[in-house]
Amino acid sequence: MTYPPSQSDADREALLTDAIDWAQAHGLLVRPSQDKVADFANHSLVTHAPFTLYPTPFPRAEFEKAKGLQQPWNTLIHKLSEDDALISEVMESLSEVDDFMQKLYDIYLKVKEEGVAQKASLGIHRCDYLLHAEPGADAKTARIQQVEFNTIASSFGSLSTWTSKLHRYLLQASERYAGGLINIDQLPENRSIQAIAGGIASAWKLYGNPNARVMMVVQPGERNAFDQRWIEYELLESHGIRLLRRTLEEIEDSGKLDAKSKTLTIEGHEIAVAYFRSGYAPTDFPSHKEWAARLKVERSLSIKCPTVAYQIVGAKKVQQLLSVPGRLERYVDVYTAELLRESFTGLYPFDSSPQGQQAYKLALQSPERFVMKPQREGGGNNIYGDDIVEALNKLSNEERTAFILMELIRSPPLENLMVREGKLIEGEVASELGIYGIYLNDGDKASVNEIGGHLLRTKAHATKEGGVAAGFAVIDSPLLV
Ligand code: ADP
Ligand code: MG
């Protein structure tokens, strides 16, 4: 059986048109890159978000397993964020070698010193997994392995909801689409928009001022604005909550922190929830102004998504530490620890410990087995293969500790058709599954702990990186098999 189903060129062209029109009619959109927009004013030129024409097969049991891990992860991330000793341990190894992490830590320390104004915290996380099968083994033996967990600006929830619906539409609208190969109940419902907006709404209610607003902290010139807008529209339409979009620079210019009450107001509007879709990369902080804005928000009474503590424990260094035997058991029972660990692949430090020395040797000997990662988010930062050797030869012992080493997860190749800027790209692909986690803690206990839908991102199998915004991957939905 071939998948995706083979078709005449004419049928495929017709499907492509159906899919693009549906995407554009439903807001499955992004802004094109700067060089294409010259003739259009006010950012009015849009294109469909890149997507797959077909859902990509994914083992149902592994999909359910990933979902089952999400609530334990939500709880674990919160516990990590409360572990002051862990945060100082992590920063001890990073502060000299990672200026960005150090600046976040400075904010953490400053707010700790003056006393945290807001006990509650909101998490909108995403745990990402790739399927792994040993080279040569049957694809049926593939199991999920965790790539990373994201605690800030986990994106594509909205566009993912629409891509799931796009594939359902194509299946229902035309029998030529799947020719009986896909059954509707193999396409799981995906309510990420509702889940993310619902989490923000819960935090807004907890804050307790019916006149207050939500602030989405955005990057100037965001191309992925529609993914964000759907959350804003859902908040207004289903919860009656208003949202402001502001850049860090604007927050510094017009945000006022009341010295006594610690309320944050922007142009007269009190901010109940600060939801960050910016502030995860050094490029989001071109000057001291943006850092001042980040500190201002952190010091305020607004409920942060994420707090600086959540952001720090989302570092890849923490992921590596959690894989050290016994570490997980500090936060969860042995049963849960075992369950979470099943999805871990080899993770190593690059420090002066015997394990770190061993990792250094291994990486030089067999670089093709590994990926080397700095403490960065947003895609395009990792080092693979021979570049690892080159990088290690350039770095001092100390500089090396800013990275972790991770074993490569080897996804069995599948076939699908990707659509980017209206053009079909055919070939072998690999998919990365993300599960959203929605978590609200009021300072004493969790008042929300939910699975927030899913995301499947698919890239050409030969491409190593995986981000959609970074231009490597397209948005997909799982076909459960
Ligand atoms: P970022 O924070 O930049 O998203 P990730 O850890 O998610 O960093 O890595 C980016 C991409 O690199 C992933 O989406 C995935 O495609 C690829 N990748 C990362 N880690 C591994 C791994 N261990 N094995 C195979 N591919 C990986
Ligand atoms: Mg990632």
**Do 137 and 233 belong to one domain?**
yes
Is residue 450 within 6 Å of ligand 1 at its C-beta? no
Q: Which of 465, 474, 475 to mutate to test the pocket of ligand 1 (most atoms within 8 A of CB)?
A: 465
Nearest of 25, 151, 185, 67 to residue 455 by alpha carbon? 67
**Do 266 and 370 belong to one domain?**
no
- Residue 260 pLDDT: 97
- Write the CATH number for 355: 3.30.1490.50
**Do 351 and 245 belong to one domain?**
no
**Do 244 and 377 belong to one domain?**
no
End-of-domain residue from the set 361, 376, 408: 408
Is residue 465 within 6 Å of ligand 1 at its C-beta? yes
End-of-domain residue from the set 361, 377, 408: 408
- Write the CATH number for 304: 3.40.50.1760
**Do 260 and 367 belong to one domain?**
no
- For residue 2, what are its two tokens? 């071939």
Question: Cis before residue 306, ω within 30 degrees of 0?
Answer: yes
Q: Which ligand is nearest to the CA of 431?
A: 1
**Do 193 and 77 belong to one domain?**
yes
Q: Which ligand is nearest to the CA of 147?
A: 1
- Residue 139 pLDDT: 80
What's the rounded Cα separation, in Å, for the pair 309 and 122?
A: 11
**Do 194 and 274 belong to one domain?**
yes
- Give domain status of residue 260, yes or no: yes
Q: Which portions of the chain are predicted below pLDDT 70?
A: 1
* Amino acid identity for residue 68 in this structure: G
| The ligand 1 atom nearest the CA atom of 472 | 16
Question: Which run of H or E residues covers position 356?
Answer: helix 354-365
Could you tell me if 132 and 410 are in contact, meaning their C-beta atoms sit under 8 angstroms apart? yes
**Do 123 and 250 belong to one domain?**
yes
Residue nearest to atom 14 of ligand 1 (CA): 466
- Give domain status of residue 47, yes or no: no
Compute the distance from residue 465 Cα to the ligand 1 centre, in Å. 6
Compute the distance from residue 160 Cα to the ligand 1 centre, in Å. 19
Number of folded domains in the chain? 2
Compute the distance from residue 128 Cα to the ligand 2 centre, in Å. 7
What's the rounded Cα separation, in Å, for the pair 375 and 356?
A: 17
- Give domain status of residue 253, yes or no: yes
Q: Please write the tens of the pLDDT for every residue from 15-70.
A: 999 999 999 999 999 999 888 788 899 999 999 999 999 999 999 999 999 999 99
Q: Which ligand is nearest to the CA of 467?
A: 1
What's the rounded Cα separation, in Å, for the pair 194 and 157?
A: 9
- Residue 467 pLDDT: 82
Is residue 218 within 6 Å of ligand 1 at its C-beta? no
Q: Which of 318, 369, 371 to mutate to test the pocket of ligand 1 (most atoms within 8 A of CB)?
A: 371
Backbone φ and ψ of 395, nearest 5°: -85, 145
Considering the entire predicted model, what is its pTM?
A: 0.98
Could you tell me if 235 and 197 are in contact, meaning their C-beta atoms sit under 8 angstroms apart? yes
- Give domain status of residue 33, yes or no: no
Q: Which of 100, 125, 148, 319 to mutate to test the pocket of ligand 1 (most atoms within 8 A of CB)?
A: 148
CA distances (Å), origin 21, targets 16, 26, 29, 162, 164: 9, 9, 11, 13, 15
Question: For residue 334, how many other CB atoms are within 10 A of its CB?
Answer: 9
Is residue 151 within 6 Å of ligand 1 at its C-beta? no
Compute the distance from residue 455 Cα to the ligand 2 centre, in Å. 12
- Give domain status of residue 457, yes or no: yes
Active site residues: 126, 148, 150, 155, 316, 373, 377-378, 457
**Do 351 and 340 belong to one domain?**
no
- Give domain status of residue 26, yes or no: no
**Do 193 and 311 belong to one domain?**
yes
Compute the distance from residue 467 Cα to the ligand 2 centre, in Å. 7
- Residue 28 pLDDT: 98
**Do 332 and 376 belong to one domain?**
no
Find the domain containing 394 and state its range.
346-408
**Do 359 and 224 belong to one domain?**
no
What's the rounded Cα separation, in Å, for the pair 256 and 261?
A: 11
- Residue 1 pLDDT: 62
- Give domain status of residue 129, yes or no: yes
How, if at all, do strands 269-276 and 213-217 pair? parallel
Backbone φ and ψ of 325, nearest 5°: -50, 135
Is residue 148 within 6 Å of ligand 1 at its C-beta? yes
What's the rounded Cα separation, in Å, for the pair 314 and 147?
A: 12
What spatial distance separates the first Cα and last Cα of the chain, rounded to whole Å?
Answer: 14
What's the rounded Cα separation, in Å, for the pair 331 and 59?
A: 30
- Residue 334 pLDDT: 98
- Give domain status of residue 141, yes or no: yes
